Amino acid sequence: MKLYRKRSERRPWEENESEGAVPWLFVLPSLLAVTVLVLLPFIDVVRRSFFSAMSGQFVGFKNYLTVFQNDAFRLAAGNTAKFVAVCIPLLLVFSLLLALLVNAFREKRGVFKTSFLIPMAIPVASIVLLWKVVFHENGLFNIFLGWLGAAPVDWLDSELTFAVLVFSYLWKNTGYDMILWLSGITAISPALYESAQIDGAGALQRFFRITLPGLMPTLFTITVLSLLNSFKVFREAYLIGGNYPNTSIYMLQHLFNNWFADLDVDKMCAGAVLMALVVFLLIMLLQRFWGREAQNE
């Protein structure tokens, strides 16, 4: 009895099954890690959000109602929504303009890529120290304003602190998004630009008729990644203002950190589920919108 058959003797469906299983073997360790470290703990968080942490009794949506009635949650949720609504459009526009500018200097593209990625390599603690030197009440920026005859401003403990946080986010993430835009731009066939130029299309026409439609898949990826990265700004806000910073930058991450320190497991689990649900719905809406755009094209 032959236990081994040559490749030429195998049936076509047997080859397809063996080749189809190979990618899953590479993905399996990552899937197992995500399941054990992310999915299963999140399922437990969902379960805990319907129970009392002290008595273990089922309380239904009581924890969710408590979260919605919490003033700190409403403040943090409003600030987080405001931060996302301001930062994401600015980041997309600035990074795209920067990518177009860098793409025009093809010979120096590698130097520009490395330069604009440096902010991601700098530790957050060092960035915060830099901002304190620049934006402190006695910092460099106020010294410059004093030379112009303007009054000093407390950038790190006023309503303007929100602007500092937005600037910090843009400064750190613009280079990363620029690289993603460049990858999308280089994927567009140069023949399209040559044909459009021969037909007399100007720079703006080539951008809106060729570049922008060709970057739609890249735009979806960048938007989702930027949305997820916007929830990581807690480190900068925490190091600038501590557990209870100025109300303008009191984010959901501050709230969850304080609830964790106070062992408010009920509210923390309910808030985490609500936050995950909102992010999931936003991503689904974006995917549906891009799906419609692709069908229209």
Instruction: Please report the pLDDT score of residue 229 as a whole number.
Output: 81
Domain shared by 72 and 44, yes or no: no
Task: Give the structural domain span for 250.
Answer: 63-296
| pLDDT above 90 (res 245) | no
Domain shared by 30 and 172, yes or no: no
For 132-149, write each residue's pLDDT tens digit. 788 877 778 888 888 877
pLDDT band at 3 (very low <50, low <70, confident <90, very high): very low
CATH label of the domain that carries residue 109: 1.10.3720.10
Instruction: Please report the pLDDT score of residue 91 as a whole number.
Output: 92
DSSP reduced 3-state for 229: helix
Domain shared by 234 and 189, yes or no: yes
| pLDDT above 50 (res 4) | no
Domain shared by 15 and 152, yes or no: no
Domain shared by 109 and 1, yes or no: no
Domain shared by 98 and 152, yes or no: yes
Domain shared by 117 and 175, yes or no: yes
Q: Rounded to whole angstroms, how far apart are CA atoms 79 and 73?
A: 10
Domain shared by 19 and 164, yes or no: no
Domain shared by 127 and 214, yes or no: yes
Residues in the chain: 297
Domain shared by 280 and 189, yes or no: yes
Higher pLDDT, 49 or 291: 49
Q: Nearest 5°: CA angle at 267, between 264 and 271?
A: 135
Q: Which two tokens stand for residue 253?
A: 């991450």
Instruction: Please report the pLDDT score of residue 93 as a whole number.
Output: 92
User: Does the residue 137 lie in any domain?
Assistant: yes
User: Does the residue 57 lie in any domain?
Assistant: no
For 20-47, write each residue's pLDDT tens digit. 677 788 888 888 988 888 889 899 989 9
CA–chain centroid gap for 21, Å, is: 32
Using alpha carbons, select from 85, 73, 106, 82 the residue that is nearest to residue 267.
73
Domain count, the chain: 2
User: Does the residue 131 lie in any domain?
Assistant: yes
User: Does the residue 54 lie in any domain?
Assistant: no
**CA 30 vs CA 37, 160, 163, 228: distances in Å:** 10, 42, 38, 20
User: Does the residue 73 lie in any domain?
Assistant: yes
Provide the 8-state DSSP code for 297.
-
Rounded percentage of the chain residues whose pLDDT exceeds 70: 89
Most confident of 5-14, 172-181, 243-252: 172-181
User: Does the residue 56 lie in any domain?
Assistant: no
**Mean pLDDT, residues 83-93:** 91
For 181-193, write each residue's pLDDT tens digit. 988 888 888 888 8
Q: Which of 61-65, 89-93, 194-198, 275-279 has the lowest mean pLDDT?
A: 194-198
Instruction: Please report the pLDDT score of residue 65 as a whole number.
Output: 92
Domain shared by 137 and 254, yes or no: yes
Higher pLDDT, 203 or 89: 89
